[in-house]
A and B are shown apart, each in its own frame.
Chain A
Amino acid sequence: DTAVSQTPKYLVTQMGNDKSIKCEQNLGHDTMYWYKQDSKKFLKIMFSYNNKELIINETVPNRFSPKSPDKAHLNLHINSLELGDSAVYFCASSSRTSAAGELFFGEGSRLTVL
Chain B
Amino acid sequence: EDKVVQSPLSLVVHEGDTVTLNCSYEVTNFRSLLWYKQEKKAPTFLFMLTSSGIEKKSGRLSSILDKKELSSILNITATQTGDSAIYLCAVDRQGAQKLVFGQGTRLTINP
Question: Chain A interface (Cβ within 8 Å of chain B)?
Answer: 4, 31, 33, 40-45, 48, 50, 55-56, 58, 90, 97-108
Q: Which residues 21-60 in B have Cβ within 8 Å of A in the complex?
A: 31-32, 34, 38, 41-45, 48
**Interface range on chain B (Cβ under 8 Å from partner):** 20 to 34
A103 and B99 contact, Cβ closer than 8 Å, known pairs A43-B43, A108-B42: yes
Task: List the B side residues contacting A40 at CB < 8 Å.
Answer: 103
CB distance from A45 to the nearest CB of B (A): 5
Contact residues of B: prevailing secondary structure: strand
Chain B, residue nearest A6 (CB): B42
Question: Chain B interface (Cβ within 8 Å of chain A)?
Answer: 31-32, 34, 38, 41-45, 48, 86, 88, 90, 92, 94-101, 103-104, 106
Residue pairs across A and B with Cβ atoms less than 8 A apart, 26 shown, are A40-B103, A41-B38, A41-B103, A42-B103, A42-B104, A43-B88, A43-B104, A44-B101, A48-B98, A50-B97, A55-B97, A58-B98, A90-B42, A90-B43, A97-B97, A99-B31, A99-B97, A100-B90, A100-B92, A100-B96, A103-B34, A103-B43, A103-B45, A103-B99, A105-B43, A108-B41
